[in-house]
C-alpha cells in the first residue's frame, strides 16, 4: 500500500457482491451459458461476459440473448438455464480470502451484508455447501427476486436498499462495497459509496480504474486502508 492508499474515507459498514467475489459462481455461469450457446452454434466471449455481469432476472436474460445472438426468447433461455443451474451450482466454492475477511469484520462488530443480483432460488443452489458461512451476514438482498429492487446493476438500487436495511441506516458515504464486475462498480459509485474491485485477471485497465481501489485478490485487501479494524497479527 502506498501513502496515497491511506487517503480513502473511513467507512463503518461493508456490502459484498456475491458472484465472482464471495463465490466462484461466475465461472459456473460461463459454463452454463457456453452450454446453451453451443447448442445454437454461438460463442460466448469474455468481452460479452464483462458487459453483462451484474444484471438481474429477465433483464439479464434479454441482454444475453441479444448479445450472444441466440434464436430463442429470454423466457426460453431462463427455462434452459434453470435446468443446468440445478446441476452445476451446488459445486460452488468460496473465493480465496473471502471467509477470512468476512469473519474478521464480524468479529470486530462491523455491520456486513450481501447485495447479490441472484434470485433467492439460485442463491440457495449456490450456497448448498456454504449455509453456515452466509449466516454470518446481517442480511442479504436478492436483486432478481426482491420486489424493492426495481433496477439491476449498473443502477444503484440494490446497494441503496441493502444499506437501508441495516438498523442504523448508514449514509452511503459510510458504506464500502466489494465488487468484481464493472456494472457493480458503476452501481456502487452511483449509490455514493466507495468500492473495492477484485476483478477477473482478464479485466481491462479502463474498467479497473473506475473503482475507488483495486486488489488482485480479496485476501490481499488490508481493512485499515478504509479505516476498518486491521487483521490481528496472528491472522496475517
- What is the set of active-site residues? 17, 19
Round to the nearest angstrom and report the end-to-end CA distance of the chain: 15
Which three three-digit cell numbers place residue 40?
Answer: 445454437
Write down the number of H helices and E strands in the chain: 10, 6
Q: What is the DSSP string of 21-81?
A: TTBTHHHHHHHHHHHHHHHTT----HHHHHHHTT--HHHHHHHHHHHHT-SS-HHHHHHHH
Gap between the Cα atoms of 213 and 4, Å rounded:
11
Gap between the Cα atoms of 15 and 220, Å rounded:
18
Gap between the Cα atoms of 171 and 26, Å rounded:
30
Beta bridge partners of 197: 179, 214
Amino acid at each position: 500500500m502506498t501513502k496515497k492508499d491511506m487517503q480513502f474515507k473511513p467507512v463503518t459498514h461493508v456490502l459484498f457482491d456475491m458472484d465472482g467475489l464471495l463465490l466462484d459462481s461466475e465461472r459456473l455461469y460461463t459454463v452454463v451459458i457456453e452450454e446453451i450457446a453451443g447448442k445454437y452454434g454461438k460463442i460466448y466471449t469474455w468481452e460479452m461476459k464483462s458487459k453483462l455481469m451484474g444484471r438481474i432476472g429477465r433483464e439479464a436474460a434479454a441482454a444475453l440473448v441479444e448479445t450472444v445472438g441466440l434464436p430463442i426468447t429470454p423466457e426460453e433461455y431462463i427455462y434452459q438455464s434453470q435446468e443446468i443451474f440445478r446441476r452445476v451450482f451446488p459445486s460452488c466454492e468460496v473465493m480465496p480470502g473471502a471467509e477470512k475477511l468476512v469473519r474478521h469484520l464480524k468479529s470486530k462488530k462491523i455491520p456486513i451484508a450481501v447485495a447479490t443480483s441472484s434470485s433467492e432460488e439460485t442463491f440457495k443452489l449456490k450456497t448448498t455447501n456454504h449455509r453456515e458461512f452466509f449466516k454470518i451476514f446481517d442480511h442479504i438482498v436478492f436483486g432478481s427476486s426482491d420486489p424493492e429492487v426495481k433496477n439491476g446493476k449498473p443502477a444503484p438500487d440494490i446497494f441503496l436498499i441493502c444499506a437501508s436495511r441495516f438498523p442504523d441506516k448508514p449514509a452511503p458515504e459510510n458504506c464500502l462495497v466489494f465488487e468484481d464486475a464493472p456494472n457493480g462498480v458503476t452501481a456502487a459509485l452511483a449509490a455514493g459509496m466507495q468500492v473495492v474491485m477484485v476483478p477477473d485477471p482478464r479485466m481491462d485497465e479502463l474498467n479497473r480504474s473506475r473503482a475507488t481501489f483495486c486488489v488482485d485478490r480479496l485476501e490481499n485487501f488490508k481493512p485499515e486502508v478504509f479505516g476498518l479494524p486491521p487483521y490481528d497479527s496472528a491472522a496475517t
